[in-house]
Amino acid sequence: MVLTLYNRLRSRTAAFVHDALMVPAAWLLAFWTRFNFESIPPPFLNSAWRALLLVLPLCVVVYWLFGLYRGVWRFASLPDLTRILKAALTATAATLAILFAFNRMAEIPRSVPVLFLLFQLVLLAGPRLLYRWAKDRRISFEDGQRVLIVGAGRAGEMLVRDMLRDPAHSYQPIAFVDDRPRHHGGSIHGVPIKGVLGDVPALVERLGIDLILLAVPSASATQMQQLVTCCEQTGKPFRTVPQLQHLMAGEVSINQLREVCIEDLLGRHPVRLDWDGIGAGLAGRCILVTGAGGSIGSELCRQLMAAGARRLILVDACELNLYRIELELLESHPPAVLARYLLDVTDAEALETLFRLESPQIVFHAAAYKHVPLLENQVRAAVRNNVLGTRVVANAAAQAGCERFVLISTDKAVNPANVMGATKRVAEQLCLELASRSATRFMLVRFGNVLGSAGSVVPLFKRQIARGGPVTVTDPDIERFFMTIPEACQLIMQAAVIGQGGEVFVLDMGEPVKIRFLAEQMIRLSGREPGTEIPIRYIGLRPGEKRFEELFYTNEDTLPTAHPKIRAARRTADARVPHNLAAAVDELIAAAGDEPRQRQALSALVPGWSAVAEQCSDQ
């Protein structure tokens, strides 16, 4: 603090001394200019020196009163120039008035005050602007990375401005490239626009570029693929600015550079939901999240706190995951708004106690096993967690009189071909049945693969690429719907707000993406070529795996919702659902330990599952 005060005083003292020296310089220059830069006649020179004894203290006082020493030269700008103009005008006018009253300006030419004003402006403002220019241009003995910027628009201009102001001098902007012809030949903050995107490889070599920055936040997935391909040809690292939707939402700033990620290349734009409506529906509420430490559950907790939840109850069976999310949330929220319970969702007694103590108004049930191949021969575990766990939590919510209950489901529950999908389908049936007879609003949310979630194919591909391959893809034609974790969580919250009970909500996720394409793009992002440097090996469909996923059953009527990117469905009569669902689920749970019997009970609840599963196993 003392050092900061010292530096501030030193800076103001230097500025004060500078301006004090500029006053006699401007005054004498005015006389010298009046006499055509020749010798000043002695009478006029003597008069100038005598008047200076009055002019100097007068100007210094005026400058001080106008706040010329409050600004920082490093950031001199238009307001500082305005203050200098006002101060110079006032000082000149006061000089005229006092000298005229003193001796009617004897032996002081009438042009001198005008010239004095002009020289004040030049000598006071000029060094300030020159100092800022020198700092912005980083005139320094330090060398940062030489940077080529792709995109000479607003984002590129802001990037260059931040680089030039960076006191650490980490980056040195060398040139722009831009495909818009009207920009060619120009410059931004002194940085020239050298060519188009196709010129990048040649410019990188000719200009000695160390880093390429992609300043095109509105680029589509196709455009981003072209940019990445061009940058990879150079062999140099490249970074991108955040996507436009994140900048507009105020979530990030333009100078938060990051690596290009697979989400940039998937061919769809993340959907932005109704945050005002979400906030209005969830703010001030007591909310419980099961599976709170998982990839979906933890992000859901973050966003619920951002939406203004009054109290958040974290439930998870994994000690480490629960500890991590609680620790993270406590860094930005007071302990009073959080509660955490280490318990299994199948523990009915513990859950009844929890609901009685906390009285949650809204429940998000995210706890589930979801790894398809792993669960194929783990029927007991899948049924226990996904079916029994859902029934216990849903019944506890209904008995406690919760307002809303949201089940996080999956597209694999539609015409399921695997144990995981079949158990999630039974969980859907349980919640839909409760919705028909409970005051609690039960609703479902289905979505496809979530990028970056636990068990996602993306982390697997990253590990395989890091090892040098091969990247394993089950089938060349297999395709999936993808969305990001934040999108998934926003969909869940949006459903909780707009749902009336009994709906199945699905986000419009665009077109499905072939897993082969995903693998190829991830390999290219690593700077290598798919098929040559990193091989792709097709290993065949795994047990329970389908080539194509579905989002709705044929007996579900699609309905519009308040949000154009969300579709909803209500179930019509389904003869395949057992008439006595509760008894059928009891039989499924009671068969634990007897796998053939449990599979048979699961088939009775989801009749289409066994036939599809047999078909998949024959392929």
Measuring CA to CA, which residue among 225, 183, 223, 173 is closest to residue 203?
173
**Tokens read off for 438:** 């409970």
**Phi and psi dihedrals of 187, rounded to 5?**
-150, 155
DSSP assignment of 135-149 equals: HHTT-SS---EEEEE
Name the catalytic one among 135, 194, 412, 546: 412
Q: Name the region of 452 (left: φ>0; alpha: ψ -120 to 50; beta: rest).
A: left
Measuring CA to CA, which residue among 90, 45, 43 is closest to residue 65?
90
List Cβ neighbours of 194 (8 Å cut-off, separation of 6 or more). Answer: 175, 176, 177, 203, 207
Buried b (16+ CB within 10 A) or exposed e, 282-318: beebbbbbbbbbbbbbbbbbbbbbebebebbbbbbbe
Q: How many helices (H) and strands (E) does the chain have?
A: 22, 21
- SS3 state of residue 365: strand
* Residue 86 is a catalytic residue: no
Residue 193 to residue 204: CA distance in whole angstroms? 14
CA 306 to chain centre: 14
- SS3 state of residue 536: strand
Active-site positions read 412
